[in-house]
């Protein structure tokens, strides 16, 4: 372990050497960490290469050329250079290995996109496709969501091979509700590129799907699809989905329903489709959401229980090899049952390395095992690197391995019960310390009562997982199944009640925490420096901690100063609502068509993130009518008179149904005309005003956008469609 390998007297710094802190840290980790964990050295260049491939645009042909040169150079070093084993020159070989893995990382991203993304022309004519549903469908309010991998497309009367993935919504009816993974469909639809909303502080679902190799979306009418056949996936995957369905049917058979059924499904096999918003929010607020995301904890428990039951194999000659095969089978079967989710897959790969190490009678270094599992998972899918679950899982394990021993040693309890409670507390603290910077960056909140909730919830959820295994084994006996089912149902019910109670406690959740990437990195640096100080007891690490704290404070001060001085207009991209924000320092005026939960959350998030204290929300049509005769100021810089808005030097015209458009000789000059779901003809607008830019918000249908665009395209007017290009920010 890293903690035991650190020697407090191995490295000391003179006063003048404090100027070389970055070099000192690098030397420290190279000598004490990388040397003991060779797979980390392989993982590092691969991660850097993947990151560069994601954030940068590099010509594909240039990468191929560079890779060829690097491989040839490395082979030459191995074959021709007799001095390659020499200590002084081996860095050359290491540099070439680093370069190869770095370029492989870039090529993984480029190649994956090259082979999975196909061009789909934007048009208004539906086309005929065949495709297989590759994930279990999920019910929505008015539709059924399906992820479909297309096989062929009809082109000029011929079926052509066409492989890509789309997110499809089928109209909800009795037929679509019975769709299952593996169903091969023929369907007619308009397949469009997934487009980001571009709204500030809003989760970019299109980018998330992009990293899952899903690039397109479609809506399929109830008369435009038909099932051709079933079982269209790999037989092993089909078998796992059928087994998954049987387990869910088993929960129904023992009388589970509502929140109990939803939580049991999520807790045991990772099916979160039935979780309603309230119960999900309660688990998030209490800091217990991690138990509903099937991950390393579940795989670890399954591994531990199976290993315990198979311990008798250790007394049989060559028995450990039989146990190895069974353990491999059990954990990989569980991964299949849960649909090979990323969290289960990475845990399964990691435990596979642990099992292999046990069979070879070698002591496994957990850091090396983690690096090896991450290395192969990134080779399989490089976009795992930007997956929040992937990042949080590895950070949690790393934190537990490094920080848990340090925290656990702080207190010693002779009583077994007290020791177990302290062990869970130390483990929870270790995981939370290592993951909270990333968690705040992604989710902007912190569960204040996570210690209390995990002390109760972790033992409870562990007991439920054990009981679910007994439940599966007891399916052959109706009496035993009913008894265990009653206990199982009660356990899940009690777990939900505990979570809901903790959620209602005062100050259960700290909301509105926003940090940028730089600040997240600084917080991690503070954690690392503090940990090294506790282990090494050297003043250099304490001083480093203070430096990083000052950097964090300075960054927050600079960010706050920028927000306080900011003046801007934001046109938000919503499909069913017109939303504008006029920002003046710490005050903000919102003009909206209607107020719904999504708008309320957006206003709250923006106020938290950008330090806005004074918020005014106005109904757009109401304020247009109220100011039609006499203009009025709002928020210090916003003046509204009917459909005309003046914000500093920007002039905006927003017509509504009551606006009278009259042809005049001197047209009203404006910077922007905002077209929302309106019935106006473009020539009427052109006769009344002289706009520089026409903006179509998300409420305007595509055919209206196309119609007006064709009319004004040759008149020197810029046209911007938020549905195609996302939200707009105008700095004042």
Whether 267 and 370 share a structural domain: yes
Domain stops at, among 183, 208, 233: 233
For residue 120, pLDDT over 70 is answered with no
Secondary structure element (H or E) that encloses residue 129, with its range: strand 127-133
Report the sign of the C-alpha dihedral through residues 232, 233, 239, 243, in that order: negative
Residue 600 burial class via C-beta count within 10 angstroms: exposed 0-12, middle 13-18, buried 19 and up: exposed
Least confident among 355-359, 413-417, 465-469: 355-359
The per-residue pLDDT for 437 is 93
Q: How confident is the model at residue 590 (pLDDT cuts 50, 70, 90)?
A: very high
Query: For the residues 706-714, what does the mean pLDDT come to?
Result: 74
Query: For the residues 57-61, what does the mean pLDDT come to?
Result: 72
Q: Greater confidence, 310 or 30?
A: 310
For residue 24, pLDDT over 70 is answered with no
The per-residue pLDDT for 663 is 43
For residue 57, pLDDT over 50 is answered with yes
Question: Which pLDDT tens digit goes with each residue over 630-651?
Answer: 888 887 788 998 888 898 888 9
Q: What percent of the chain has pLDDT over 70?
A: 85
Whether 491 and 570 share a structural domain: no
Helix H, strand E, coil C: the string for 439-489 is HHHHHCEEECCHHHHHHHHHHHHHHHHHHHHHHHHHHHCHHHHHHHHHHHH
Domain stops at, among 216, 233, 250: 233
Q: Tell whether 330 is covered by a domain.
A: yes
The per-residue pLDDT for 133 is 94
Q: How confident is the model at residue 113 (pLDDT cuts 50, 70, 90)?
A: low
Report the sign of the C-alpha dihedral through residues 80, 84, 89, 91, in that order: positive
Least confident among 374-383, 400-409, 456-465: 456-465
Query: For the residues 59-77, what does the mean pLDDT come to?
Result: 71
Cα separation, 541 vs 533, whole angstroms: 5
The per-residue pLDDT for 130 is 93
For residue 665, pLDDT over 70 is answered with no
For residue 506, pLDDT over 80 is answered with yes
Cα separation, 95 vs 404, whole angstroms: 35
Residue with structure tokens 């905006």? 652
How many CB atoms within 10 Å of residue 303?
21
Helices (H) and strands (E) in the chain, counts: 24, 22
Query: For the residues 205-223, what does the mean pLDDT come to?
Result: 87
Q: Tell whether 580 is covered by a domain.
A: yes
Cα separation, 205 vs 210, whole angstroms: 9
For residue 145, pLDDT over 90 is answered with yes
Question: Backbone phi, then psi, for 36, in 5-degree steps?
Answer: -85, -10
Q: Tell whether 352 is covered by a domain.
A: yes
Whether 339 and 317 share a structural domain: yes
Q: How confident is the model at residue 34 (pLDDT cuts 50, 70, 90)?
A: low
Least confident among 223-227, 484-488, 618-622, 716-720: 716-720
Range of the domain at 525: 517-558
Q: Tell whether 121 is covered by a domain.
A: no
For residue 131, pLDDT over 90 is answered with yes
Q: Tell whether 122 is covered by a domain.
A: no
Token readout for 649 is 């030097």
Whether 245 and 105 share a structural domain: no
What is the phi-psi region of residue 182: left when phi exceeds 0, alpha when psi lies from -120 to 50, beta otherwise? left
Secondary structure element (H or E) that encloses residue 74, with its range: helix 60-80
Whether 320 and 203 share a structural domain: no
Domain count within the chain = 6
Q: Tell whether 410 is covered by a domain.
A: yes
Query: For the residues 236-242, what does the mean pLDDT come to?
Result: 82
For residue 381, pLDDT over 90 is answered with no
Question: Which pLDDT tens digit goes with each residue over 676-701?
Answer: 875 555 555 656 677 788 888 888 87
How much is the pTM? 0.82
The per-residue pLDDT for 8 is 37
Residue 727 burial class via C-beta count within 10 angstroms: exposed 0-12, middle 13-18, buried 19 and up: buried
Whether 332 and 474 share a structural domain: yes
Whether 355 and 467 share a structural domain: yes
Secondary structure element (H or E) that encloses residue 533, with its range: helix 517-536
Question: Which pLDDT tens digit goes with each residue over 264-291?
Answer: 888 887 777 788 888 888 888 887 777 7
Query: CA 240 from chain center: how many Å?
Result: 25
Cα separation, 669 vs 687, whole angstroms: 11
Q: Tell whether 329 is covered by a domain.
A: yes
Whether 436 and 475 share a structural domain: no
Cα separation, 570 vs 74, whole angstroms: 53
| Per-chain mean pLDDT for the chain | 80
Query: For the residues 330-348, what does the mean pLDDT come to?
Result: 75
The per-residue pLDDT for 654 is 86
The per-residue pLDDT for 124 is 63
Residue with structure tokens 């009496």? 479
The per-residue pLDDT for 87 is 55
Cα separation, 120 vs 114, whole angstroms: 14
Question: Which pLDDT tens digit goes with each residue over 538-571?
Answer: 888 888 899 999 999 999 999 888 888 888 999 9
Residue with structure tokens 């011929």? 158
The per-residue pLDDT for 273 is 77
Whether 284 and 406 share a structural domain: no
- Contacts by 198-204, CB closer than 8 A, 24 or more apart: 198/573, 198/722, 198/725, 198/726, 198/727, 198/728, 199/572, 199/573, 199/574, 199/602, 199/726, 199/727, 200/570, 200/606, 200/609, 200/727, 200/729, 201/602, 201/605, 201/606, 201/609, 202/602, 202/605
Helix H, strand E, coil C: the string for 347-372 is HHHHHHHHHHHHHCCCCCCHHHHHHH
Least confident among 92-101, 293-302, 332-341, 674-683: 674-683
The per-residue pLDDT for 548 is 93
Domain CATH for 616 = 3.60.15.10
The per-residue pLDDT for 13 is 43
Whether 573 and 480 share a structural domain: no
Cα separation, 625 vs 269, whole angstroms: 55
How many CB atoms within 10 Å of residue 181?
24
Token readout for 701 is 């249908």
Buried b (16+ CB within 10 A) or exposed e, 416-450: eeeeeebebbbbbbbbbbbbbbbbbbebbbebbbb
Query: For the residues 128-148, what does the mean pLDDT come to?
Result: 90
Residue 377 burial class via C-beta count within 10 angstroms: exposed 0-12, middle 13-18, buried 19 and up: buried
> Strands 689-696, 644-647: parallel, antiparallel or unpaired by DSSP?
unpaired
How many CB atoms within 10 Å of residue 153?
20
Token readout for 374 is 């991450």
Cα atoms in the 13 Å half-sphere on the side-chain side of 327? 31
Q: Tell whether 533 is covered by a domain.
A: yes
Q: What percent of the chain has pLDDT over 90?
A: 11
Query: For the residues 655-682, what does the mean pLDDT come to?
Result: 66
Query: For the residues 341-366, what does the mean pLDDT come to?
Result: 71
Q: How confident is the model at residue 360 (pLDDT cuts 50, 70, 90)?
A: low
Cα separation, 356 vs 331, whole angstroms: 13
DSSP annotation of 215 reads -
For residue 86, pLDDT over 60 is answered with no
The per-residue pLDDT for 280 is 85
For residue 548, CA distances in Å to 516, 525, 526, 560 come to 15, 7, 6, 18
Cα separation, 654 vs 616, whole angstroms: 19
Token readout for 387 is 């997956």
Whether 301 and 336 share a structural domain: yes
Q: How confident is the model at residue 123 (pLDDT cuts 50, 70, 90)?
A: low
Whether 370 and 314 share a structural domain: yes
> Strands 650-653, 644-647: parallel, antiparallel or unpaired by DSSP?
antiparallel
Domain stops at, among 526, 558, 590: 558
The per-residue pLDDT for 141 is 81
Q: How confident is the model at residue 147 (pLDDT cuts 50, 70, 90)?
A: very high
For residue 459, CA distances in Å to 288, 318, 484, 500, 508 come to 12, 35, 18, 17, 20
Query: For the residues 146-162, what does the mean pLDDT come to?
Result: 88
The per-residue pLDDT for 12 is 42
The per-residue pLDDT for 519 is 94
Q: How confident is the model at residue 15 (pLDDT cuts 50, 70, 90)?
A: very low
């Amino acid at each position: 372990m890293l903690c035991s390998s650190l020697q407090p007297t191995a490295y000391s710094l003179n006063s003048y050497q404090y100027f070389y802190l970055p070099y000192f840290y690098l030397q420290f980790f190279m000598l004490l960490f990388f040397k003991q964990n060779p797979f980390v050295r392989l993982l590092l260049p691969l991660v850097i290469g993947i990151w560069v491939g994601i954030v940068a645009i590099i010509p594909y042909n240039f990468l191929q050329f560079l890779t060829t040169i690097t491989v040839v150079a490395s082979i030459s070093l191995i074959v021709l250079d007799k001095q390659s084993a020499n200590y002084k020159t081996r860095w050359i070989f290491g540099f070439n290995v680093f370069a190869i893995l770095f370029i492989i990382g870039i090529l993984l991203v480029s190649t994956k996109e090259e082979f999975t993304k196909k061009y789909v022309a934007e048009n208004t004519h539906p086309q005929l496709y065949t495709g297989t549903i590759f994930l279990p469908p999920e019910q929505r309010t008015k539709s059924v969501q399906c992820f479909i991998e297309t096989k062929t497309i009809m082109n000029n009367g011929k079926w052509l091979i066409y492989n890509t993935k789309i997110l499809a919504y089928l109209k909800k009816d009795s037929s679509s509700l019975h769709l299952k993974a593996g169903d091969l469909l023929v369907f007619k639809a308009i397949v469009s590129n997934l487009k980001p909303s571009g709204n500030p502080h809003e989760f970019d679902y299109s980018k998330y799907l992009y990293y899952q190799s899903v690039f397109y979306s479609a809506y399929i009418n109830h008369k435009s699809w038909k099932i051709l056949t079933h079982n269209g996936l790999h037989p092993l995957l089909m078998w796992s989905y059928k087994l998954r369905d049987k387990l869910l049917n088993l929960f129904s058979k023992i009388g589970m329903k509502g929140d109990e059924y939803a939580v049991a499904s999520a807790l045991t096999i990772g099916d979160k489709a039935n979780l309603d918003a309230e119960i999900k929010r309660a688990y998030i607020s209490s800091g217990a959401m991690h138990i509903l995301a099937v991950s390393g904890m579940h795989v670890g428990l399954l591994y531990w229980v199976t290993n315990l039951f198979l311990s008798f194999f250790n007394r049989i000659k060559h028995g450990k090899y039989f146990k190895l095969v069974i353990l491999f089978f059990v954990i990989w079967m569980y991964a299949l049952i849960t649909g090979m989710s990323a969290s289960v897959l990475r845990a399964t790969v990691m435990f596979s390395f642990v099992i292999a190490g046990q069979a070879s009678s070698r002591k496994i270094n957990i850091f090396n095992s983690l690096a090896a599992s991450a290395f192969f998972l990134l080779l399989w899918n490089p976009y795992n690197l930007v997956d929040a679950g992937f990042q949080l899982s590895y950070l949690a394990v790393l934190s537990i391995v490094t920080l848990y021993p340090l925290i656990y040693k702080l207190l010693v309890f002779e009583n077994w019960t007290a020791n177990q409670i302290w062990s869970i507390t130390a483990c929870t603290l270790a995981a939370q310390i290592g993951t909270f910077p990333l968690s705040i960056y992604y989710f902007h909140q912190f569960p204040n009562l996570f210690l209390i909730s995990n002390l109760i919830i972790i033992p409870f959820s562990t007991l439920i997982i054990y009981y679910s295994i007994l439940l599966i084994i007891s399916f052959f006996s109706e009496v035993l199944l009913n008894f265990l089912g009653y206990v199982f149902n009660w356990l899940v019910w009690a777990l939900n009640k505990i979570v809901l109670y903790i959620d209602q406690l005062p100050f259960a959740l700290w909301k509105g925490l926003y940090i940028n990437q730089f600040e997240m990195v600084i917080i991690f640096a503070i954690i690392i420096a503090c940990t090294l100080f506790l282990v090494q007891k050297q003043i250099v690490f304490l001083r480093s901690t203070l430096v990083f704290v000052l950097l964090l404070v300075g960054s927050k001060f600079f960010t706050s100063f920028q927000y306080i001085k900011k003046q801007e207009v934001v046109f938000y991209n919503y499909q069913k609502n017109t939303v504008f924000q006029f920002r003046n320092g710490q005050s903000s005026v919102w003009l909206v068509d209607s107020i719904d939960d999504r708008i309320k959350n957006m206003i709250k998030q923006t106020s938290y993130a950008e330090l806005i204290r004074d918020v005014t929300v106005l109904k757009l049509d109401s304020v247009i009518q109220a100011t039609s005769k006499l203009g009025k100021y709002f928020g210090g810089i916003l003046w509204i008179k009917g459909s005309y808005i003046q914000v500093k030097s920007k002039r905006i015209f927003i017509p509504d149904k009551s606006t009278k458009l009259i042809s005049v000789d001197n047209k009203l000059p404006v910077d922007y005309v905002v077209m929302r779901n309106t019935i106006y003809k473009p020539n009427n607008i052109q006769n009344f005003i002289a706009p520089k830019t026409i903006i179509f918000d998300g409420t305007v249908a595509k055919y209206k956008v196309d119609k007006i665009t064709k009319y004004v395209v040759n008149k020197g007017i810029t046209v911007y469609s938020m549905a195609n290009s996302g939200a707009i920010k105008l700095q004042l």
